[in-house]
Amino acid sequence: MSDAPKKLHIKTYGCQMNVYDSERMAEAMGAKGYTLTDDPAEADMVLLNTCHIREKAAEKVYSDLGRLRPFKEAKPDLKIGVAGCVAQAEGTEIMRRMPLVDLVVGSQNYHRLPEMAEAAARGERPVDTEFPAEDKFDLLPERPVQGRPSAFLTVQEGCDKFCAFCVVPYTRGAEISRPVSRILAEARKLVDKGVREITLLGQNVNGYHGAGEDGDWGLGRLVRELARIDGLERIRYTTSHPNDMADDLIAAHGAEPKLMPYLHLPVQSGSDRVLKAMNRKHTAEDYLRLIERIRAARPDILLSSDFIAGFPGETDQDHRDTIALIEAVGFGMAYSFKYSPRPGTPAAGREGVPAEVADARLHELQALITRQQRAAQDSMVGREVGVLFEKPGRLPGQWVGKSDYLHAVHVAAEGLAPGVLARVRITESGPNSLGGALAGG
Ligand code: SAH
Ligand code: SF4
Ligand code: F3S
């Protein structure tokens, strides 16, 4: 056995929570001497951090595993691990179907990854998809140097809402919130390492109710406390459920300048009939009224959402109701997906709408959303916005950052670097990004 540092390649699928988890797993393995590599060919261990949300996402894992076979043949010591939501949902099946997989670690057991890797090195094939009582994040090593101005911080995990189409309550388990003190400590550490923007993550992040020194805190109070950290300039959070938008969180959007004017608030459908069948527990009207209250607190907020096209039982009228809701709100950003039946969810057994009908509806939603996104982006021209710079752009002297409203912005100017937060006057709107110049410069 050589003493050379071992190399770990991680491929991350799915949502931002997986991105955060992959970072934490890399740190846990880093403490055991592994360094990260982008190249699976030079890796000693490959970890796929998977997503189960739609069938395509889950199936991709099996094809990617197939693609790893030549690497394993070339290097029999290579260990292959599957983590994340597919691991959680189908761990045993993966082990059975894919003999090249050496370990399966479910979404709540990442603190066990180093010891599982050791077991795999001994020739075992460990699987852990339990939902343990303890919080995995408490058992993972502390966060080391970040070197990036923007970081994710998971504050809440799991979901108790059980929307009829969704696997998350099964793959991530019941809702839990991390205690306030742990979140503040992690945030301070990130800021000490140069982080200036933190995005708080949770499957139902606005349902956050973590233990504080005087009882449970909601997300609004957590945001206000985080905003007191010197050097932390921007706070965001995602993903939220409409039923958990508490008054003090809405108020924070008006009162707390560090809380960025962008909100991802999935509605899924504009039809009350479909919302009921989805078990969303809100109506289209509830959503519209909520948007009014949020806009009253922060008129310039950029709203984002998720939509599902072709949910079982969706009629043309239901689809038109969704179109009407999108037109009524005017989203700055939105994602739409064709309904995908997921095993074990209540909607899986219901009769679906014909694929070509769902495709046509999805297409129509996407066309409308694209027009709205473009209009929101174009409306930035002539305005002055904050931009947090992250990396060099493609042209010499150019830097790219994110605006307060989460648009990518290109600026060519002296003195820019990752972590610089500057006022920028927007001068142009391109296909995927804005261009501008430093304000007052
Ligand atoms: N917790 C978040 C997001 C969960 S998953 C929320 O409550 O909104 C992200 C998005 O994937 C969902 O908002 C939904 O639009 C979509 N999605 C989830 N399950 C799906 C399925 N079975 N088929 C198609 N889209 C789905
Ligand atoms: Fe899934 Fe609904 Fe929970 Fe969101 S709220 S994670 S869509 S079950
Ligand atoms: Fe996918 Fe799991 Fe996230 S199913 S969307 S990786 S919570």
Give the pLDDT confidence score for residue 139 in this predicted structure: 82
Longest dimension (CA), the chain: 66
* Portions of the chain given CATH number 3.40.50.12160: 6-128
**Intervals of CATH 3.30.750.210 along the chain:** 142-260
CATH of domain 273-379: 3.30.750.200
CATH class in words for 384-438: mainly beta
Choosing from 17, 170, 175, 204 the residue with most ligand 2 atoms within 8 A of its CB, the one to mutate for a pocket test is 204
Burial class (CB within 10 angstroms; exposed 0-12, middle 13-18, buried 19+) of 270: buried
Distance CA 294, CA 373 (A): 19
User: Is the CB of 165 within 6 Å of ligand 1?
Assistant: yes
Give the distance (Å) from ligand 2 centre to CA of residue 163. Answer: 5
Q: Determine the average pLDDT of the residues in 358-367.
A: 98
pLDDT mean over 355-378: 98
Q: Map tokens 């709408």 to a residue.
A: 353
pLDDT tens digits, one per residue of 387-422: 999 999 999 999 999 999 999 999 999 989 999 999
The tokens of 395 are what?
A: 């042209």
Would the pLDDT of 1 be above 80?
A: no
- Examine residue 239 and say whether the peptide bond preceding it is cis (omega within 30 degrees of 0): yes
**Angular region, 346: left φ>0, alpha ψ -120 to 50, beta rest:** alpha
- 150-154 sheet: strands from edge to edge: 150-154, 197-201, 234-238
Q: Is 89 in the pocket of ligand 3 (CB under 6 A)?
A: no
How confident is the model over 263-292, as pLDDT tens digits? 999 999 999 999 999 999 999 999 999 999
Q: How far is the CA of 203 from the centre of ligand 2 (A)?
A: 7
In which residue ranges of the chain is CATH 2.40.50.140 found? 384-438
Tokens 């009908």 belong to 357
Residue 15 CA to ligand 3 centre (angstroms): 5
> What type of residue sits at position 149?
P
> Is the distance from the beta carbon of residue 84 to the nearest atom of ligand 3 less than 6 Å?
yes
Q: Is the CB of 168 under 6 A from ligand 3?
A: yes
CATH of domain 6-128: 3.40.50.12160
- Reply yes or no on domain 142-260 having CATH 3.40.605.10: no
Residue ranges, CATH 3.30.750.200, the chain: 273-379
